Amino acid sequence: MNRSRIDFRKNDWLSHVYLSLILFVAITLVCCNKQPVDYSGPISNWPSYGGSTGGDRYSPLTQVSRDNVSGLKKAWEYRHGDIGNNREITNSESAFEATPIILDSILYFPTPFNRIIALHAETGDEIWTYDPEIDLKGYYANQLICRGVEYWSDSEKSQGACASRIFMGTNDGRLVAVDALTGKPCIDFGNAGQIDLKGDVGDEKWLGEYQVTSPPAIANDVVVVGSAVSDNGRVDAPSGVVRGFDARSGALIWSWDLSPPDSINRNDMLSSGGYLLGSPNVWAPMAVDENLELVYVPTGNPSPDYYGGIRNGIDHYGSSIVALHSKTGEVKWRFQTVHHDLWDFDVPAQPTLTEIEKDGKKVPAVIQATKMGLFFILNRATGEPIFPIEERPVPQTDVPGEYTSPTQPYPVKPLPLIGHDVSVEDAWGPLGMDGECRKKLEELYFAGAYTPPKLGQPTLMYPGNAGGSNWGGIAVDHERQILVANVMDMAWIVELFPAKDYQRVREENPGIEVGPQTGTPYGMTRTMLVSSLGLPCIKPPWGKLAAIDLKTGDLMWEIPFGTIRDLSPIPLKIKYGVPNLGGPIITKSGLIIIAATMDEYIRAFDIDSGKMVWEERLPAGGQATPMTYRVKEDGKQYVVICAGGHARAGTKLGDYVIAYALPD
């Protein structure tokens, strides 16, 4: 007789008890630890690069909240294939800095090679692709980068070819328009769907000196586009003219070449189109207030960056935020964030529009983030400060032929989010290995923030030219009246040398930037202040995430942002706070969602406390700004990040577009 069979039958009741317990635990783990998806909340698109034309990076969505965000899982993944690290394909490196937009359940984004791709928003399935076939063999000064595209719908034509359009600027200096439904060129726009932006701005010395890296702005039926021009090359670099084109025909409506109002232009410094050569340019994204009919333009500084002795006033609009009439291009007002900029402190981020409660009234505001970690908060109708701004004395130059502004503007509030002073005591090295950095700091000239470059002696630049803030910008929660920003806090070294020594200095300094600054008496070198281990020489955090109360201008909280997981030889998740490129978004449910850091993660934080509530490993660097959407009432909220890395920042390259959602 089978003894085991007899035992089983005798204890059959006990087996049922065990099975019931196991089933109960399983049901508890599956059902009770996962909250059901709430389909009752709002739906919302992400119709513009900055979330809205005002660049607020705010979403009214609530399905993903502080309570359930830890359950986010990858819903779909798309790979585009355009990676600029293959010399058989391109002479330039790439950075995948794109933020997609979404309208009518279609997700649109550009690759670093300027291909536009349309995906089904809920599945990630490809709908169409468009390739402008840029010349990949150029030497693109700012790498191969395209941060975004913009959408426009023709109010005079509800259907038919190009009734809705996608606009994009290209690395080789074109503005293209394609049908939003098919991806085919809009043949009635410009020359069969494209406009050559380089034809009358001045000759390029090489293909890639003049690029468009940020999305155009669209104000009613006007497409406004700027450009990115190579730094530190020559005084007669291509013009940084900003132009407005008719969205239907591509006809030029207006142009603004950033000439000073008293027209100090020299006849020998004009392009064939009559635009000022070497003028400031507008490489960062712009913002639009359609009700006020204003375009808010963040400007760079004139070429070159580190010597301005022969500018003759052409930096009047440099390193400024300027409000232009969208229909005419005329200047309504301007505010200069840096006077006579000698530090590459060009305004790097999209202006952000909101309303601020002040003295019981709502004031229309524009907030401008800067590389100095300063935030200028202005009345967007008038340009007047909402929080006071002081002019404070700064160090002065002793370089022959140069001059400096005696003061620079400082907001009284908010206070800077990064340091403006550093000493030898701030030297840092892991495990007490700070001696090397201490020695470097002792050899550098530094007289405080805005120390002008020295001739023949390395000068410490702190804050550094990378930021503070950079092109990722900020996000604003309009209801909570909170500004959220990620910043970098690193020092750089700049030195001027006689122009005749350019070739020798370049040969003696392989691997660092050496610029000729042709047309000036001096060349320049620029490098980050790091130790032989490649880590910054000043004490961490080198990156922070912070929240500011816009009602008072006070800091609510700040935390070190990111770990050295992918910066150190040993993958330790030590929260030093690391450099970051990309920006945050905010949801109504109280979440800050951001990637950006040099460790390969996307994270979510509680907006009230700064506590991290979700973290997910990325397959490549997330040097981009995420976005979020929910397209239908019975649909899910998706969070999307472009994870493709940044060659010059040294993060892992890739070609991923990844969407996360809550599981059923």
> Annotated active-site positions, please?
344
Crossing angle of helices 3-10 and 12-27, in 10° steps, is 60
Q: What is the DSSP letter of 503?
A: H
Beta carbons of 469 and 373 less than 8 angstroms apart:
yes
**550: how many CB neighbours lie within 10 A of its CB?**
26
Distance CA(659)–CA(147), nearest Å, equals 18
Residue with tokens 């935390």: 559
Nearest to 346 by CA among 282, 411, 418: 282
Query: What does the alpha-carbon distance between residue 274 and residue 259 come to, in Å, rounded to a whole number?
Result: 11
Burial of 70 (0-12, 13-18, 19+ CB in 10 A): exposed
Q: C-alpha distances in angstroms, 129 versus 106, 310, 436?
A: 12, 47, 51
Whether omega before 304 lies within 30 degrees of 0, making that bond cis, reads yes
Q: Which residue has the tokens 């969407």?
A: 659
CA-based nearest residue to 483, from 359, 354, 604: 354
Distance separating alpha carbons of residues 189 and 632, to the nearest angstrom: 33
- Stated as kind and residue range, the H or E segment containing 405 is none
Compute the 3-state secondary structure of the chain and give helix, strand, coil in percent, each to the nearest 5: 10, 35, 60
Only one residue has tokens 């399905």, namely: 63
Strands 58-59 and 585-587: parallel
The token pair at 13 is: 């009741």
How many other CB atoms sit within 10 Å of the CB of residue 438?
A: 15
What is the gyration radius of the CA atoms in the chain, in angstroms?
A: 26
Of 237, 178, 185, 235, the C-alpha closest to 211 is: 237
373 burial (CB, 10 Å; 0-12 / 13-18 / 19+) is buried
On whether the CB atoms of residues 424 and 539 are closer than 8 A, the answer is no
Distance CA 627, CA 103 (A): 13
Instruction: State the pairing for strand pair 601-606/591-594.
Output: antiparallel
The helix (H) or strand (E) run that includes residue 441 is helix 435-443
The letter for the amino acid at 248 is R
Phi, psi of 53 (to 5 degrees): -65, -15
Q: 10 Å Cβ neighbour count for 629?
A: 26
Query: What gap in Å lies between CA 225 and CA 211, rounded to an integer?
Result: 11
φ/ψ bin of 204: left (φ > 0), alpha (ψ from -120 to 50), beta (otherwise): beta
In what helix (H) or strand (E) does residue 13 lie, and over which residues does it extend? helix 12-27
What whole-number distance in Å separates Cα of residue 344 and Cα of residue 355? 30
| Cβ–Cβ < 8 Å for 602, 595 | yes
12 SS3 class: helix
| Total residue length of the chain | 664
